[in-house]
Structure formats: C-alpha cells, structure tokens
Amino acid sequence: RTGDAPRRISILGATGSVGTSTVDVILGRPGAFEVEAVTAGTRAAELAEIAIRLKARIAVVADPSCHGALVEALAGTGIAAAAGEAALIEAAARPVDLVVAAIVGAAGLAPTMAAIEAGSDIALANKECLVCAGSLFLGRAEAAGVHVLPVDSEHNAIFQALEAENMPAVRSITITASGGPFRSWTREAMQRASVAEALNHPRWSMGPKITIDSATMMNKGLEVIEAHHLFGLDADRLEVVVHPQSVVHGWITYADGSILAQLGAADMRIPIAHCLAWPRRYATETKPFDLVSIGTLTFEKPDLERFPALALARGALSGGDRATNILNAANEVAVDAFLKGGIGFLDIAACVAETLDRLAGGSGLPDIDSVAAALAVDGEGRRVARAVLGGRRALRTG
C-alpha cells in the first residue's frame, strides 16, 4: 500500500464507545479512508447514521429484529443493509487493510477471527478475544500473516515503547490502572454500591461492561491476560500499578535499567489513531495535554483483598486458555446481572471464583483449538455462572 492511497477499513461495533471514537478519528482525516463495513449489535438508526457519515458500503446489525429499521434508515443511500450472525461474519470477512475489532465480549470472537482468516490486519479493542481464545487467535493471526495492533490504551502504550529487536532485553512490562470509582472504598461500602456509583468512572468514558470491569479491577486482570498473549511474557513479569491520574498508560523496564513509558490524555482517540496510522502517525483533535497543570503523578500497589478479581485473573492465566475463557464467561454473566440490579457488586468476583471452582478451571472441558470449541467452553462457563447466581438468589430470598 502506498502512503497516499486511502486505507480500506471496517469497524465491528461501530456504535459503541471505541466504535464512535474510531468514527471521529476517521472523519478527522478526510480522504484517508475508504470504509467497507460498519456493524452493531442493535441500534439500527445510530448504525445507519454512522454508515452514511462514513460512506460505508454495507451496514450490518447482529440482531435480526433490527433488520427492518436498518433497511428503512438506509433506503436510497446505496448502502447495503443486512442482519444476523451470518451476515455479521460475512461483513467481517470482507478483506480490507484494517478491521477495528470493537465489539464487547466473547460475541466479538467469531467475527474478529473471520477478519483474520480474510487476511485483514486487526486493530484490537475487543480484549475478550484474547481472554477466551488467546493462543488460537494469535496462532491464526500468525498463520494468516496479519498484524494485531493493540487499541487498549495500556497495551498500545507498551506497543509504542517496544523495540522489537530488544524483546529479549525486556525485564518486565507494567500496565497502569486508574483504580476506578472504588479505589479508596471499603469492601462493606462496595457491597452496597449502586449501579450508578459503579458506572461513575473517574477518568475514562467507556461502554457499561468495561466500566464495571474497571470498578472491580477485572479489567486489569483481563489486561494482564491480554498482555501475556500480545507480548509473550509470563505473569511474573507483567505488573499492575494503580495510577489514579491515568497519565502514564504503561512502561517497559529493559535489562539495562532504562524504562520507556507512554504518556497522554485519557482519550481513546489517541491509541485508535496510533493503530489507524501505524506505522506512521496522524494529528488528532485531542485537547492540549499539560503535565505542569496536572502537577503530581502518584503510583500505588493494587489491593488484592479489596479487588479479588485481579488475583482471580492471574490464577486463571496460570491455568491456561480454558480457565481464562471460563473467567471471562462468568464475568460477563455476573456483570450483566449486576447491571440489571440482580446481584451486589462484590458478588461479581464471587461468582467468577465459584464458577472457576465448580468447573475445576476447565480441566474437564475440550481444548480450545477452534472457534467452536472456544464458544462451547464459553457456553459451559455461562451455564455454570447462571447456576451460581441462581443459587445465591435462592439463598437470599429463601
């Protein structure tokens, strides 16, 4: 691809938080992109508006009941409309230069894998792909010769600080955590926390699932697993530091004692623009960033007693892909139940722990050697997590 030809791009999860930030970056570079497909789970009207603004070729909504609304909203635009899981995968498999994978949860695995099989490079926001099937995912990416560029801000920071030729001299990788809204809360207060309090993230504006994951710090646990797969380091060389200002996103400690970090505003358009421009850089419309006005940067150790999800994720990482897959499945079920008001905040991590226990870390389940196998283990994790939560509700009301 020559430097000046438009990059062909698709966005999976275009209506979400990362999706709309991606739309912003693209609209800020007129002529730099040709958009092939945009997709969403539901919300046909928002998806249609994005498709029209980006002049996409096709818009696909996963929920078949939204098909009519999408067709209507795109009538006369010349943009194709489709719905359903098969159409989503077909759209993801249209070969382009770069697919932005910004669906939330394990639901993103099959479409993102289809994009890999089609030979498209991936800008990966959907970290759950790596948590549910990391070895398979990156194995297929390598076989297909595609690049997987990390959008997740901490991993993007590490990617920026990485000198590939000095990989053997990497002593450790550190990712930072804001600590979320409950950084200084007691466990008693956390158990009574409302959904609104858990959704009130101090630094980042994100979709609801990852915002709850930030409050439990499961997000950082998922990110340790993500970093293990992306950078090939064992868990004992992957560190997490709580840094409430969210200015330093991550750093690499090299064997010679040098530390290379990446800093910037807590604005996802920065790592997204980095992936979209890579290996070059684009100008973005982000606010000027002034370290002097920020003044003080602080760093603390995470508290694994108040935030057990982080320890659970590390434990699952040592258990392998089936264990991390179950961790993710149980977490998705529990976060959904919390958001619907069905369980308390601390029940999220308790449900994940109990599900992993009941399934013995997945040791009796099939190896994750295909997308179907990954989804089968995920299904089993969800089934057991629902049973765990059902038992809790029965205990409470009974």
Binding-site positions: 15-18, 41, 126-128, 152-154, 178, 201, 207, 214, 219-220, 223
What one-character-per-residue DSSP string does 134-177 give?
HHHHHHHHHHHT--EEE-SHHHHHHHHH--GGGGGGEEEEEEEE
Question: Interacting stretch for ligand NAD, rule CB under 6 A, among 24-32, 102-110, 239-247, 346-354?
Answer: 102-110
* C-alpha gyration radius of the chain: 21
Annotated binding site for NADPH: 15-18, 41, 126, 128, 207
Which of 9, 16, 132, 321 touches ligand NAD (CB under 6 A)? Answer: 16
Residues 249-278 interacting with ligand NAD (rule: CB under 6 A): 268
- Of all residues in the shown chain, the one whose CB is closest to ligand NAD is 16
Which of 9, 37, 40, 87 touches ligand NAD (CB under 6 A)? Answer: 40
Which of 6, 28, 41, 202 touches ligand NAD (CB under 6 A)? Answer: 41
* 3 state DSSP class of 331: helix
Is there binding between residue 332 and Mg ion (CB under 5 A)?
no
From ligand NAD, Mg ion, none, interface partner of 62 (C-beta below 5 to 8 A by class):
ligand NAD
Could you tell me where the DSSP H helices lie in the chain? 17-27, 44-54, 67-74, 85-92, 109-117, 128-144, 153-161, 187-191, 195-198, 208-216, 218-231, 269-277, 291-294, 308-319, 321-339, 346-358, 371-397
Is there binding between residue 152 and Mg ion (CB under 5 A)?
yes
Question: Interacting stretch for ligand NAD, rule CB under 6 A, among 11-19, 29-37, 48-56, 141-149?
Answer: 11-19
One-letter amino acid for residue 159 of the chain: F
Question: Interacting stretch for ligand NAD, rule CB under 6 A, among 14-22, 186-194, 301-309, 324-332?
Answer: 14-22
Q: How far apart are the first and last CA of the chain?
A: 65
Contact predicate 114/93, CB 8 Å: yes
Is there binding between residue 98 and ligand NAD (CB under 6 A)?
no
- CB-nearer residue toward ligand NAD: 41 or 366: 41
d(CA 159, CA 322): 26
Binding site for ligand NAD (CB under 6 A): 13-19, 40-42, 62, 102-104, 107, 125-128, 152, 204, 206-207, 209-210, 268
